[in-house]
Amino acid sequence: MHKRVGRASVKYEEGVYIVNSASVVGTKEGQGPLGHLFDRVGSDDLFDCNTWEEAESALQKEAVYMALKKAGKKPEEIQMMFAGDLLGQSIATSFGLKQFEIPMLGVYGACSTCGESMLLGSMAIEGGFADQVVCVTSSHFASAEKEFRFPLEYGNQRPLSATWTVTGSGAFVLSGKHSHGDRAKITGFTVGIVTDYGLKDSMNMGACMAPAAASTIERHFKDFQCGPEEYDRIITGDLGTVGQQILLDLLREKGYDIADVHMDCGIEIYDADTQDTHAGGSGCGCSAVTFSAYILKQMEEKFWKKVLFIPTGALLSKTSFNEGQSVPGVAHALVIEHV
Amino acid sequence: MHKRVGRASVKYEEGVYIVNSASVVGTKEGQGPLGHLFDRVGSDDLFDCNTWEEAESALQKEAVYMALKKAGKKPEEIQMMFAGDLLGQSIATSFGLKQFEIPMLGVYGACSTCGESMLLGSMAIEGGFADQVVCVTSSHFASAEKEFRFPLEYGNQRPLSATWTVTGSGAFVLSGKHSHGDRAKITGFTVGIVTDYGLKDSMNMGACMAPAAASTIERHFKDFQCGPEEYDRIITGDLGTVGQQILLDLLREKGYDIADVHMDCGIEIYDADTQDTHAGGSGCGCSAVTFSAYILKQMEEKFWKKVLFIPTGALLSKTSFNEGQSVPGVAHALVIEHV
């Protein structure tokens, strides 16, 4: 059962269970502060493949394989898969997941895709269309630089506002039935609205996405008639240090102070001082692997009982950037509770 | 109420209503056999914009604007929008729809996106998460050639198996409540599985997608315990003449002969003899505008009472093609009935 509490905000009565999950990351992420928590750290960012794109597909394949194994499920027990990535035409997803032969619904929300896939996956279960679904997203530093900016060989300079695309994939098995060992449950969501403040700097994506995160968080508070005190943590995807400050400022203007409970996956995943990542981590993989390896662990250990998880996406392409367009953002919010 | 009749097949008892819809196309589509049926035919394929990408965004914006107007709805009465296109990072969608400020869920299924967006949109309504949603997709000949093949200025030769990307956008307003003037209703779906027969020819996408269409249609017949005789038409998205023949052959091997009821939007939209389009039309816009302008009209006029609509997508990118990858396909099926 569920209750609509706002235009695109829904509260689940029992909740949709996150049965299990897996995170697979690259070497740099393995060396970061969360390195010891990931399920697998690659010894080489090519993951035994010939191209960066194939490597990203390998990340997704491995993450889904491990998540299914940890959940004790076979691919044929899964009714639908919700998946996407950052590459043009989501090729990391198509090539990474075809082997599983699971009915597939591709989603695109830039780096908010982890949130969007779990939002839609939980809807499919809560609505009675599936018993069990898999949600998966990925990003890869090298394939993303090639897709959005410059080939690595060019060695371009990165301003301090730039973020570093996470090489990683996070996969989640969701179910409508509670079982022993569930990691947490999804108990509500707020769908994001595309928000554009007119910023055009693809090297400052935190600033481009912060208005979308602020819009979704504000709408969420109003729809759920709550405030920051409702949550142990309010966790954005990949705003980084520049975007975080803007988010806090924008929400203060709207009357909400979330500074005490705000956390950003992009800030957590690297040690900016020693890893040269500047404003933080980004990419679909950033929030996905941090959610699987760190956030869900904190909830299992009851350090946090209820968090608001808001992966954030910057809706640009190389073409839109080169044509002088702005960078709109979108952010979807999920309420996550411990079980 | 709905009933699950297979792994990813669902039958809706009452159905989700297609309140209204709109189609906006380019000059070539306007000159084709369905030209007189489209809601708007552009006088110039730039649609008063500076770039092909902006023109594609303008198509989506116009299609949604017209669909809402025809349905007598305001943007604020819509709870969610399901939308996507073929361009890298779905920029036609992000830039075309941000003005409506409707909560947005981006989808990607290549040219199957029209089916995927209505499948998810109908699930959102049937599951009780929204009262009214908008589903929209687009493609543009010039932006697609640039994205997938060569700039138009290069003037490359096209083999006879190639299809011509439709310049067009189709938008649909769905609702859970029946009202006077509804165009038709969605009464079931089968989610597609990514299918890859190893074909690598991006100039023969019909052949690449036909196995996915055959897989979905076969699974649909088995799940719904029916056959071709159940439908007045079985309508694929953009297989074209080459793909159509392969689909008919593949299904005959599986024991189903759909030749008498099969129709393909890509074959209907152009006159191949006089319009130099070779195997037919393609692109997200192909099935979307044909569905809005022609298929729904046939159902309103009671020529057809029940059709199976299966938009087909080829999951390639310029990068995957250049790296020598195959072209997997995906196809989602929707059961459409007259009201």
- Give the percent of chain A with pLDDT over 70: 100
- Give the percent of chain A with pLDDT over 90: 96
Confidence bin at A122 (pLDDT 50/70/90): very high
Contact A91 B317 (CB under 8 A): yes
Q: Which of A53, A98, A330 sits opposite B328 (nearest CB)?
A: A98
3-class state of residue A309 by DSSP = strand
What is the C-alpha to C-alpha distance for residues B45 and A68, in angstroms, rounded to an integer?
48
Contact A91 B2 (CB under 8 A): no
| Dihedral angle sign, alpha carbons of residues B87, A242, A281, A220 | negative
**Average pLDDT in the A60-83 region?**
98
pLDDT in tens, A9-43: 999 999 999 999 999 999 999 999 999 999 999 98
Confidence bin at A291 (pLDDT 50/70/90): very high
Which chain B residues are within 8 Å of A135, Cβ to Cβ?
none
| Dihedral angle sign, alpha carbons of residues A224, A225, A231, A234 | positive
Q: What local confidence, expressed as pLDDT, does residue A151 receive?
A: 84
Number of Cβ within a 10 Å radius of residue B182: 21
Q: Which of A69-73, A171-175, B155-159, B305-309 has the lowest mean pLDDT?
A: B155-159
Report chain B's C-alpha Rg in angstroms: 18
CATH fourth-level superfamily of B2-175? Stage V sporulation protein AD (3.40.47.40)
The answer to whether A2-175 and A186-337 have equal CATH topology is yes
Question: B321-327: long-range contacts at Cβ-Cβ below 8 A with a sequence spacing of 24 or more?
Answer: B321/B148, B321/B200, B321/B202, B323/A50, B323/A51, B323/A53, B323/A54, B324/B200, B325/A91, B325/A95, B325/B200, B326/B196, B326/B197, B326/B198, B326/B199, B326/B200, B326/B208, B327/B196, B327/B199, B327/B200, B327/B201, B327/B202, B327/B205, B327/B208
Contact A316 B108 (CB under 8 A): no
Helix spans in chain A (H): 27-31, 52-71, 91-97, 113-126, 141-148, 205-223, 240-253, 265-268, 272-275, 284-290, 296-300, 318-322
Give the residue from B184, B168, B170 showing the smallest Cα distance to B232.
Answer: B184
Q: How confident is the prediction for chain A on average, in pLDDT?
A: 97
- State which amino acid sits at residue B139: S
What is the C-alpha to C-alpha distance for residues A115 and A184, in angstroms, rounded to an integer?
15
The ipTM assigned to this model is: 0.97
What is the C-alpha to C-alpha distance for residues A50 and B323, in angstroms, rounded to an integer?
9
Contact A315 B91 (CB under 8 A): yes
Q: Which of A95, A106, A328 sits opposite B98 (nearest CB)?
A: A328
Q: What local confidence, expressed as pLDDT, does residue A150 receive?
A: 85
Let me know: does B183 contact B299? Beta carbons within 8 Å. Answer: yes
Q: Is the pLDDT of residue A143 over 90?
A: yes
Quick one: closest CA in B to A143, which residue?
B319
Distances (CA, A) of A321 to A3, A177, A206, A325, B86: 40, 45, 16, 5, 17
**In sequence order, which residues have a C-beta less than 8 Å from that of residue B27 and are 6 or more positions away?**
B41, B42, B43, B44, B45, B167
Which chain B residues are within 8 Å of A186, Cβ to Cβ?
none
Q: Output the CA angle A245-B99-A212, nearest 5 degrees.
A: 20
Strands A184-190 and A333-337: antiparallel
Q: What local confidence, expressed as pLDDT, does residue B151 receive?
A: 84
Local structure of residue A307 (DSSP, 8 states) = E
**Average pLDDT in the A195-214 region?**
96
Determine the length of chain B.
339
**Average pLDDT in the A111-132 region?**
98
**Average pLDDT in the A293-321 region?**
97
Q: Output the CA angle A45-A46-A52, nearest 5 degrees.
A: 105
Structure tokens at B201: 């020819």
Mutate to test the interface with B, among A104, A200, A217, A323 (most CBs of B within 10 A): A104
Which chain B residues are within 8 Å of A101, Cβ to Cβ?
193-194
Let me know: does A175 contact A16? Beta carbons within 8 Å. Answer: yes
Mutate to test the interface with B, among A108, A146, A190, A208 (most CBs of B within 10 A): A108
Ordered by start, the domain boundaries in chain B are: 2-175, 186-337
Strands B233-236 and B306-310: parallel
| Cβ contacts from A onto B, under 8 A | 179
Confidence bin at A203 (pLDDT 50/70/90): very high
Contact B325 A87 (CB under 8 A): no
Beta-ladder partners of A186:
A16, A336
Q: What local confidence, expressed as pLDDT, does residue B155 receive?
A: 87
Q: What local confidence, expressed as pLDDT, does residue B145 receive?
A: 92
Query: Mean pLDDT for each consecutive 10-residue tract of chain B (339 residues)?
Result: 97 98 98 98 95 97 98 98 97 97 98 98 98 98 92 88 97 97 98 97 95 98 98 98 98 98 98 95 98 98 98 96 96 98
Q: Is the pLDDT of residue A266 over 90?
A: yes
Q: Output the CA angle B147-B32-B67, nearest 5 degrees.
A: 75
Mutate to test the interface with A, among B10, B87, B320, B321 (most CBs of A within 10 A): B320
Confidence bin at A297 (pLDDT 50/70/90): very high
Let me know: does A53 contact A143? Beta carbons within 8 Å. Answer: yes
What is the C-alpha to C-alpha distance for residues B27 and B44, in angstroms, rounded to an integer?
6
Distances (CA, A) of A18 to A23, A35, A146, A185, B126: 14, 22, 33, 5, 23
Q: Which CATH number fits domain B186-337: 3.30.70.1060, 3.40.50.720, 3.30.465.10, 3.40.47.40?
A: 3.40.47.40
Structure tokens at B92: 């036609």
Whole-model pTM: value is 0.98
Contact A88 B328 (CB under 8 A): no
What is the C-alpha to C-alpha distance for residues B49 and B38, in angstroms, rounded to an integer?
21
What is the C-alpha to C-alpha distance for residues A104 and B109, in angstroms, rounded to an integer?
9
Cα end-to-end distance, chain B, whole Å: 17
Mutate to test the interface with B, among A5, A129, A139, A189 (most CBs of B within 10 A): A129
Give the residue from A202, A113, A215, A217 showing the smallest Cα distance to A163.
Answer: A202
